[in-house]
Amino acid sequence: MLSADAVKAAARDCRFTLVGLTPAVPLDPGPLERWLAAGYAADMDWMARRLPERLDPAEILPGARTVIALAIAYHRPAGEGGPVARYARGRDYHYAHRDRMKALRRRLLALDPGVETYAAVDTGPAMEKVWAERAGLGWIGKNGCLIHPRLGSWLTLSVMFVDREVDAYDAPAERRCGDCALCLGACPTGAFAAPGVVDARGPASRAGSSAATSARRSARSTGARPRRGTRASRPGRWRAWRRPRWRRSTRTPSDACRRAWPSPAPSTTACAGTPSTPSARPAIGGRDRSSPPSSTTRLRR
């Protein structure tokens, strides 16, 4: 058995902003099965694969006893604007989580040399958001995002399964959305089938796309052209921004909910190791880091 305080201290020493612990018991399959049956996954057909592994950590790591839920905050000052979304500025968060989880793995081995772990960030079968809620990192709001009372939803998540119990587990966070429904009304695509249920098919989004197509056809037929100096008149330059590592800064369904929560005070813990500007990504471990990251890692000795 591991000490919960020792595990949390190790995670914080590895520069994770938040850490929580919860038993590795199977998840209720009902919500995921209903979501898939309703077709809300749209073309994300991989969500229907490996269901046992999504729901039960023991299917991934035999003997799993504890889930360590981890988060790194990425909030930026309100006045720091730009064409790149906040989470995509600086270092790729997949690499940030991966390297910090490797460091955490080494610290856990120092506590118990026989410990076995499985770590995942974003693309593995582990459902990071659900485990984060169970571990007390926050609650899943009506916008489908994990919300922390102080940091809002400006978080990237990862999890680590461990085949050891700890002496104390965290309680799930209290859901505090109450009667607030700002995010539901602010969603530009009408993507919420119900509070907390995201419909990835986006019927309103498809209608908006059709309207945009009609507008472009109308502009071509009337000879209208974009004003000089706009991004629309410089497609080559705009495409230069559309590299796989970056995302356009657009309004998301969670913006209204984020505005409802005050911006967190600057914290060296939350921003440690995160450069303020994008930089070249050097090779790590002899691999060219310009290639897509491997977001799921089985960490063993």
Residues involved in catalysis: 122
Angle in degrees, 0-180, between the axes of helices 4-13 and 93-111, rounded to the nearest 10: 140
Q: What are the backbone angles phi and psi of residue 214, rounded to the nearest 5°?
A: -60, -40
Q: What distance, in Å, lies between the first and last C-alpha atoms of the chain?
A: 19
E strand or H helix that includes residue 194? strand 192-194
- Do residues 254 and 183 lie in contact, with contact meaning Cβ atoms separated by under 8 Å? yes
Nearest C-alpha neighbor of 169 from the set 28, 297, 25, 71: 25
Nearest C-alpha neighbor of 246 from the set 38, 127, 91: 91
Region for 47 from its dihedrals, namely left if φ exceeds 0, alpha if ψ lies in -120 to 50, beta otherwise:
alpha
Instruction: Give the whole-angstrom CA distance, residue 158 versus residue 15.
Output: 13
